[in-house]
């Protein structure tokens, strides 16, 4: 790929390293790969940046690896700037620390587990909270040693159920994970904010468009947490924001504003009605509007969903969830609310095993009489009146009052969030958008330092339990995100900070003088500090132009027909602008454009 | 760890990055770790370069990671210089390619195997011949694309039976593996020699003392192969060399020079003797010298060792191996000769199951009569006469002639190699030494390209099967090897090319002026292009000097008592030499020393 060529003594005896398309391990593809759906995946494969080895497992070819390393360097640079120290922990880990914190089980199928030749259980690290807590415990013993921020840029493993879009959601991927350890919560907050600002600088340098949203902390444990979501229609994370107030949150993190409770005194008694075959909300609403005096909408009904849940290591237990009938249950919100417990919908066998559950006609009193835990949407406050199941086939109850006829065991964020819903801050309404998680910052708290008793001697002579933060950036995912946000219909477009090469010199003229001129220009660019890819192949100019657009270097310099007249073309891959300049003016032009 | 400090406008507004011991994530240890036996392991742990997580699985702390990355950079630089292209393949791999080549089984327990959530078999890559062959097949289709050399610097996994000496023999380790693909054998030889020379340059830059020895190719397959062994008394690889001729070989690769065959005509007939209880060679020789006319040594007896072997996927088969009685069987040589078959010595149950084997009295005729494959040391040529077992309890045969009374099924390199043995080139005798394998280069041949039918269209219009080479360097192991070869009794000593920092500035004076002077000197060194570690702790000078010696930066600058008189000490960690210079002469002194 590279050739070293000593240039003549009139220069500095510098060693020139030019990458040549004629030798580069690269074959661009005309057709999209059959398994690719999203643009970044198609283009990264077609342009020869990555290759699939197994589901969610990819190889990085020369150009892809260069982008990945440059993204790593930006991340490293900004982490070092906040005083974080780089180390590297193994990916192959013993079971024990993850057993101590319960994550050996909590991770479920997403954890790659294996045994060594002696039968010892091991895992491939999905994230390293445990190991960093143990490491700091082993090295540090005094309050004088704190605070500390440690990070690594490392290959991680998660056995995703649905690996997706090439390197966007892989099972083997590169992540920057960092961990802060502080003496107290103020220290944690300071480390958290340092990370928040470093992440903003990183994503700004990478030209990533993103939002910061309030998040749930999932299986990580901990309290405050925010996600950095890259704006993208192909994102799997839905977030909502309130244009009026600037509030933004992951859908899982939206807290439904509860209305004021109403007085129950004077409300009419609940009445059971024969409703015939009305197993759905729609059929029930039709019946009500045909039968009752007042008009009824789905929002007046209470839909009861039956699930079973299991905490790690525990038994399955039934759970009833009541939401207003005009809203679907959002399983991701429901799961996030119950984490780390697993949760699944009841199946036929479960109903058969629990004959008191009258499918389609389940009501809160029946559930609670049977001892089933029953949680409701926060809108179901005391004094609200509902049409819901009467626990008998073909019967519903009208006028069932929360706080009088039934008392839920608590509330749960399980109902879908919709555009137009009231913002939790009360300042306006919510609109939704799609995003790709590129960063996540957590104020973990004491979950892991408690698990391993990570104490140092405090200034007062007593043990001081450390408080931990955890911060991640999906480094390999960022390569896909940049491709996704920056590409156009001709191919990839790389921001200067991460492009595999700064300049792509295309020889589009068979004339010997032009070829020699292009080689000299490439060498001059190299000496001037630009990384250069030169297309010295025998292919036609048309093929070379198409490849240059597909590969996406920010600047393409074409040495073509105009060379005889003393001009070459400088093409800006982002704006499409073409400037004709003299060969010896190219460096000045590029430097001016770089600013 | 790092602090950025803008220095005043009289300089360049440069951003200074100095690493401070007061913030560095590092605690040096006074005592050797309990599990460490070899000096490099003890020192790398004591100096806080690495920490153990599980057997053969280590974390790299800040200083260790810096050395590792610098070793990687030297390797990368020299690989790029021979035109090799860096890519990165996954560590988590599907079973199928390794099944095709048989290595899924051949690797035995050394392979980390696991299943994903769907039950698909996967493995952690120990080396990537299969994947690179498949990759090249996928990308390249014409002879015009060749030759190509691809490499990666990657974390690899082998479930070693005896992980050892910290990072010296880990189960997770960093390796540079490269693969060449050529149209013909001449091309392969050229790629092989390019690697050989690149490796020599790499090890020279790292100041590693090493020898290149002829090697067997083990489970890799292929023909020509050489190992680079670092000279070290703690090495597990024994090699031999012939001082007269320069011949050097791994013991497994030594080919015993076979003597000329002798005429069998006229030799007396073999005679069976009652030898009483003579189950060992020593007792048999005693009997012979007491009974026979001519004096006898152990070298006149033929020792028959019984084993069973199994090719991957096959059944166990008996194997007899005959060696002169004065030599032990070297199981590593025997195993290397039979690879990829497994081999174990017979146990009591095996003898019980095969009653024709009269333990202690086994002879070639009995084995061959029972259909047992029988291989002999190359010294057992036709016409040689032996005392050996007569296949009956208490009986031996005297004057048994090879080529007359028995005909072996072939020869095998199983006997130990001893100092003083004839060199295979006939130019002198062998002496043995210990080494640590740091590199291995293989002319693989067609093993993998045949397995995956890696063809391109040849210049003649017909398919051209590619020929492959495979080349490895143990990158993380090299960190241990350098520590092992360079340390002294005070601690580590890093060659300039890989030291975590170029200069270690020790503030050994509490005076404010000295402290300020040290800080300024550190900043000046940074601006001058040196990487600087400054010991700004409040510890005593003695503690700081001890740590500086333990950590092993090549140059230590002490700002101590002399500062008031305008001098600081420049200490060379290798020679121990101390030079007193003015603070503003330090940079000139170091530049002069660097040459």
Is residue B123 domain-shared with residue B216, that is, in the same domain?
Answer: yes
Assess if residue A60 is contained within a domain: no
Is residue B81 domain-shared with residue B191, that is, in the same domain?
Answer: yes
Assess if residue A248 is contained within a domain: yes
Assess if residue A107 is contained within a domain: yes
| Residues forming beta bridges with residue B149, ordered by sequence position | B180
Question: Token pair of A405, please?
Answer: 């006829």
Assess if residue A292 is contained within a domain: yes
Q: Is the pLDDT of residue A265 over 80?
A: yes
Is residue B460 domain-shared with residue B404, that is, in the same domain?
Answer: no
Query: Cβ contacts (< 8 Å) between B81 and chain A: which residues?
Result: 4
Confidence at A595, pLDDT banded by 50, 70, 90: low
Assess if residue A541 is contained within a domain: yes
- A80–B contact, CB cutoff 8 A: yes
Is residue A9 domain-shared with residue A130, that is, in the same domain?
Answer: no
Please give the Cα distance from A558 to B526 (Å, whole number).
40
In chain B, the residue whose alpha carbon lies closest to the alpha carbon of A141 is B27
Q: What pLDDT was estimated at residue A279?
A: 80
In chain B, the residue whose alpha carbon lies closest to the alpha carbon of A68 is B88
Is residue A512 domain-shared with residue A385, that is, in the same domain?
Answer: no
Closest CA to A497 of A399, A416, A574: A574
Q: Where are the alpha helices (DSSP H) in A323-379?
A: 331-338, 348-353, 364-369
Please give the Cα distance from B408 to B377 (Å, whole number).
10
Confidence at B544, pLDDT banded by 50, 70, 90: very high
Please give the Cα distance from B193 to B187 (Å, whole number).
10
Confidence at B521, pLDDT banded by 50, 70, 90: very high
Query: Looking at residue B574, which CATH number applies to its domain?
Result: 3.40.50.800
Segment B313-334 shows an average pLDDT of 92
Q: What pLDDT was estimated at residue A533?
A: 96
Interior/surface letters A457-469, b for 16+ CB within 10 angstroms, e for the rest: eeeeeeebebbbb
Q: Please give, rounded to a whole number of angstroms, the shortest distance from the CA of B146 to a CA of chain A.
A: 9
Query: Cβ contacts (< 8 Å) between B112 and chain A: which residues?
Result: 92, 114, 116
Please give the Cα distance from A285 to A581 (Å, whole number).
73
- A131–B contact, CB cutoff 8 A: yes
Q: What pLDDT was estimated at residue B311?
A: 83
Q: What pLDDT was estimated at residue B4?
A: 39
Closest CA to A361 of A383, A335, A382, A392: A392
Is residue B75 domain-shared with residue B183, that is, in the same domain?
Answer: yes
Is residue B141 domain-shared with residue B233, that is, in the same domain?
Answer: yes
Q: Is the pLDDT of residue B523 over 90?
A: yes
> ipTM of the predicted structure?
0.84
Q: What pLDDT was estimated at residue B51?
A: 96
Q: How far apart are the first and last CA of chain B?
A: 30
Is residue A168 domain-shared with residue A301, that is, in the same domain?
Answer: no
Query: Looking at residue A402, which CATH number applies to its domain?
Result: 3.90.960.10
Assess if residue B10 is contained within a domain: yes
B489 contacts B483 by C-beta, under 8 angstroms:
no
Please give the Cα distance from B2 to B4 (Å, whole number).
7
Count of structural domains within chain A: 3
The fraction of chain A above a pLDDT of 90, given in percent, is 76
Confidence at A248, pLDDT banded by 50, 70, 90: confident
Segment B104-125 shows an average pLDDT of 94
Q: What is the pLDDT of residues A517-535, one digit of tens each?
A: 999 999 999 999 999 999 9
Question: Token pair of A561, please?
Answer: 């027909």
Q: What is the pLDDT of residues B269-318, one digit of tens each?
A: 999 999 988 888 999 999 999 999 889 999 999 999 999 999 877 899 99
Q: What pLDDT was estimated at residue A223?
A: 64
Query: Cβ contacts (< 8 Å) between A89 and chain B: which residues?
Result: 53, 59-60
- A483–B contact, CB cutoff 8 A: no
Cis before residue B147, ω within 30 degrees of 0? yes
Segment A581-586 shows an average pLDDT of 94
**Angstrom distances, CA of residue A480 to CA of A39, A491, B347:** 9, 13, 58
Per DSSP, A192 falls in state H
Determine which of A35-39, A386-390, A583-587, B533-537 has the lowest per-residue pLDDT on average. A35-39
User: If you count DSSP H runs as helices and E runs as strands, how many of each does chain B have, helices first?
Assistant: 15, 31
Choose from A17, A20, A45, A54 for mutation: most chain B CBs within 10 A.
A54
Q: What is the pLDDT of residues A130-172, one digit of tens each?
A: 999 999 999 999 999 999 999 999 999 999 988 888 888 999 9
Is residue A114 domain-shared with residue A228, that is, in the same domain?
Answer: yes
Q: Is the pLDDT of residue A7 over 60?
A: no
Q: What is the pLDDT of residues A474-485, one digit of tens each?
A: 999 999 999 999
Cα A200 to chain center, whole Å?
15
Q: What pLDDT was estimated at residue A457?
A: 96
Range with top average pLDDT, A223-232, B244-253, B530-539: B530-539
Q: Longest C-alpha distance within chain B, in Å?
A: 102
Question: Token pair of B572, please?
Answer: 């060379």
Mean residue pLDDT of chain B comes to 91
Is residue A113 domain-shared with residue A191, that is, in the same domain?
Answer: yes
Is residue A458 domain-shared with residue A385, that is, in the same domain?
Answer: no
Mean residue pLDDT of chain A comes to 91
Interface of A with B in 89-118 (CB under 8 A): 89-94, 109-110, 112-114, 116-117
Q: Which domain holds residue B344?
A: 271-411
Assess if residue B34 is contained within a domain: no
Please give the Cα distance from A115 to B174 (Å, whole number).
21
Q: What pLDDT was estimated at residue B112?
A: 97
Assess if residue A48 is contained within a domain: no
Is residue B85 domain-shared with residue B172, that is, in the same domain?
Answer: yes
Closest CA to A173 of A152, A156, A153: A156
Q: Where are the alpha helices (DSSP H) in A452-585?
A: 475-486, 512-527, 541-551
Global pTM value: 0.84
Last residue of one domain, picked from the residues A376, A411, A446: A411
Q: Where are the alpha helices (DSSP H) in B117-247?
A: 129-139, 185-205
């Amino acid at each position: 790929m590279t050739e070293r060529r000593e240039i003549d003594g009139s220069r500095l005896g510098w060693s020139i390293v030019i990458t040549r398309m004629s030798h580069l391990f690269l074959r661009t593809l005309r057709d999209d790969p059959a398994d690719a759906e999203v643009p970044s995946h198609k283009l990264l494969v077609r342009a020869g940046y990555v290759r699939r080895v197994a589901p969610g497992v990819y190889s990085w070819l020369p150009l892809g690896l260069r982008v990945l390393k440059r993204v790593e360097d930006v991340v490293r640079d900004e982490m070092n700037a906040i005083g974080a120290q780089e180390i590297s922990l193994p990916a192959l880990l013993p079971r024990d620390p993850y057993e101590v914190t319960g994550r050996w089980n909590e991770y479920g199928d997403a954890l790659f587990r294996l045994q060594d030749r002696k039968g010892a259980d091991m895992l491939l690290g999905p994230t390293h909270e445990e190991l960093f807590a143990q490491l700091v415990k082993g090295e540090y013993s005094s309050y004088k040693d704190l605070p500390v921020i440690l990070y690594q840029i490392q290959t991680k493993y998660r056995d995703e159920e649905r690996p997706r879009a090439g390197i966007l959601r892989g099972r083997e991927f590169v992540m920057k994970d960092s961990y802060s350890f502080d003496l107290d919560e103020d220290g944690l907050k300071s480390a958290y904010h340092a990370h928040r600002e470093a992440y903003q600088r990183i994503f700004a340098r990478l030209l990533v468009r993103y939002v910061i949203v309030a998040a749930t902390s999932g299986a990580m444990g901990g309290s405050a947490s925010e996600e950095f979501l890259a704006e993208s229609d192909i994102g799997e994370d839905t977030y909502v924001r309130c244009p009026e107030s600037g509030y933004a949150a992951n859908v899982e993190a939206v807290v439904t504003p509860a209305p004021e409770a109403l007085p129950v005194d004077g409300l009419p008694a609940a009445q059971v009605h024969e409703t015939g075959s009305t197993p759905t909300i729609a059929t029930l609403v039709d019946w009500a509007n045909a039968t009752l005096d007042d008009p009824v909408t789905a929002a007046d009904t209470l839909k009861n969903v039956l699930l079973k849940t299991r905490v790690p290591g525990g038994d399955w237990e039934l759970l009833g969830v009541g939401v207003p009938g005009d809203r679907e249950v959002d399983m991701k919100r429901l799961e996030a609310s119950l984490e780390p417990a697993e949760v699944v919908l009841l199946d036929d066998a479960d109903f058969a095993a629990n004959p008191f559950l009258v499918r389609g006609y389940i009501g809160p009193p029946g559930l609670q009489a049977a001892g089933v835990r029953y949680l409701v949407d926060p809108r179901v406050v005391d004094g609200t009146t509902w049409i819901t199941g009467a626990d008998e086939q073909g019967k519903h109850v009208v006028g069932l009052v929360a706080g009088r006829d039934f008392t839920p065991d608590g509330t749960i964020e399980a109902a879908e969030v919709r555009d137009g819903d009231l913002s939790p801050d009360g300042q306006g309404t919510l609109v939704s958008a799609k995003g790709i998680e590129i960063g996540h910052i957590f104020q973990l708290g004491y979950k892991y330092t408690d698990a391993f008793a990570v104490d140092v001697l405090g200034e007062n002579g007593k043990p001081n339990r450390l408080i931990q933060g955890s911060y991640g950036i999906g480094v390999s995912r960022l390569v896909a995100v940049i491709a996704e946000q920056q590409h156009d219909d001709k191919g990839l477009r790389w921001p200067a900070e991460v492009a595999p090469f700064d300049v792509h010199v295309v020889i589009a003229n068979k004339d010997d003088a032009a070829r020699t001129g292009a080689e000299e220009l490439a060498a001059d660019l190299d000496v001037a500090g630009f990384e250069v890819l030169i297309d010295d192949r025998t292919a036609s100019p048309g093929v070379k132009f198409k490849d240059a657009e597909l590969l996406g270097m920010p600047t393409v310099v074409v040495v073509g027909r105009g060379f005889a007249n003393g001009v070459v073309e400088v093409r800006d891959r982002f704006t499409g602008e073409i400037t004709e300049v003299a060969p010896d003016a190219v460096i000045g032009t590029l430097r001016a454009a770089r600013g």
